[in-house]
A = this chain, B = another copy of it.
Amino acid sequence: MNIVFKALNDPIRREILEILKEKDMTAGDISEQFDVGKPTISHHLDLLRQANLVTSEKDGQFVIYAINTTVLDEIMKWLLDLKK
């Protein structure tokens, strides 16, 4: 839970999720959407993966990333509970 909030606490990482929501993408294609270096994006993707917010699959020399929304339910449950 801690790590999910940590992963969501960054504008770039949140934007990555919004991009992946539209379609799966390679690490390179993702990094092209941003003005920071590839190592930095790789690091962000690593954090997102640790939080289980994205999955990664190797396809030849590419690594394809996809959003994984199952964890979001947990967060929403926690948020909803605060309102009760």
Instruction: Give A contacts to B, CB under 8 Å.
Output: 2, 5-6, 8-9, 11, 14, 17-18, 21, 67, 69, 72, 75-76, 79-84
Contacts and interface: CB of A to CB of B under 8 A. Distances in A.
A72 to B, nearest CB: 5
Given A72-B79, A75-B79, A82-B17, A2 B6 contact: no
Copies of this chain, tallied across the complex: 2
- The binding surface of chain A is classed by DSSP as helix
A3 to B, nearest CB: 10
Nearest to A71: B79
Contacts of A9: 5-6, 8-9
Contacts of A76: 76, 79-80
